[in-house]
Amino acid sequence: SQTIHQWPATLVQPVGSPLSLECTVEGTSNPNLYWYRQAAGRGLQLLFYSVGIGQISSEVPQNLSASRPQDRQFILSSKKLLLSDSGFYLCAWRGSGGLGTQYFGPGTRLLVL
Amino acid sequence: QQQVKQSPQSLIVQKGGISIINCAYENTAFDYFPWYQQFPGKGPALLIAIRPDVSEKKEGRFTISFNKSAKQFSLHIMDSQPGDSATYFCAASMETNAGKSTFGDGTTLTVKP
């Protein structure tokens, strides 16, 4: 069966510090991968998606970047965090040839102080 | 064109009652409509999904009703239970668009005992 992991679960970072969030998927090959941000009590904002290694599409221009160094690894990064980067970050995967269901990871709670 | 509008924003139902959440979309190219359930601090999880060639799908106490001509779909939770208290998101996606999903803003459901 497929599983998706995210870490860390919680992160408190000062403004201006770098960020690296990691997401890995097990049990599937060539998945589509997605990064979302969810503000408190709000919906899901798609940040980046990837259909293959090294292929990254950005949905919203901002202080973040994403990379996909391996088939089942997706990384969200920032060189200098802003207060507005605080939120709940979710990684999701979808089978490249399957139905439209996305499967979400447990999320990372980021607080920028 | 890419928006999915969800209502109500919040909903309070008595135990045993029926919870109804509605969504409307504009883009007729959407071909997959999932509903996700999210508990606090967790990632969303697929609850039930439907394709536009079907007008209704039922899984246990959860039913999706789909009206293609009106471009609307809804989630019905029968015999609502306190354990159903969560945030519900509708979504719409296209197979040809890297499987990206457009999410509604969510409905926070509270089922009172």
B100: left (phi over 0), alpha (psi -120 to 50) or beta: beta
Q: For the residues B8-12, what does the mean pLDDT come to?
A: 96
Chain B window 70-109: which residues touch A at a Cβ cutoff of 8 Å? 89, 91, 93-95, 98-101, 103-106, 108
B81, B14 Cβ separation under 8 angstroms: no
Is the pLDDT reported for residue A41 higher than 80? Answer: no
Q: Which residues of B touch A21 (CB under 8 A)?
A: none
Q: Are strands A103-104 and A87-94 parallel, antiparallel or unpaired?
A: antiparallel
Residue B100 has a pLDDT of: 84
Among B42, B101, B104, beta carbon nearest to A102: B101
Compute CA distances B19 → A53, B54, B85, whole Å. Answer: 42, 21, 10
Most confident of A25-34, A61-70, B57-66, B89-98: B57-66
- Cβ distance A90 to B43 less than 8 Å, yes or no, reads yes
Judged against a pLDDT cut of 70, whether residue A61 lies above it is answered with no
Counting Cα atoms < 13 Å in the Cβ hemisphere of B47 gives 25
Least confident among A6-10, A96-100, B60-64: A96-100
Q: Calculate what percentage of chain A has a pLDDT beyond 70.
A: 96
Instruction: Using the predicted structure, report yes or no on whether residue B97 has a pLDDT greater than 80.
Output: no
* B residues 3..22 contacting A (CB < 8 A): none
pLDDT at B39 exceeding the cut of 80: yes
What pLDDT does residue B95 have?
75
- pLDDT score of A99: 64
Q: What is the pLDDT of residue A40?
A: 77
Residue, of B24 and A41, whose pLDDT is higher: B24
Alpha carbon of A83: minimum distance to chain B alpha carbons (Å): 20
Q: Are A108 and A41 in contact (CB under 8 A)?
A: no
Q: Tell me whether B58 touches chain A (CB under 8 Å).
A: no
Residues of A in contact with B95 (CB under 8 A): 100
pLDDT band at A96 (very low <50, low <70, confident <90, very high): low
Query: Measured at the alpha carbon of residue B45, what is the angle toward residues B41 and B51, in degrees to the nearest 5?
Result: 150
Q: What is the DSSP letter of B74?
A: E
A49 CB near a chain B CB, below 8 Å?
A: yes
Q: Which of A25, A10, A44, A43 is nearest to A105 (CA)?
A: A25
Q: What pLDDT score was predicted for residue B44?
A: 95
* CB-closest option in B43, B89, B93 to A106: B43
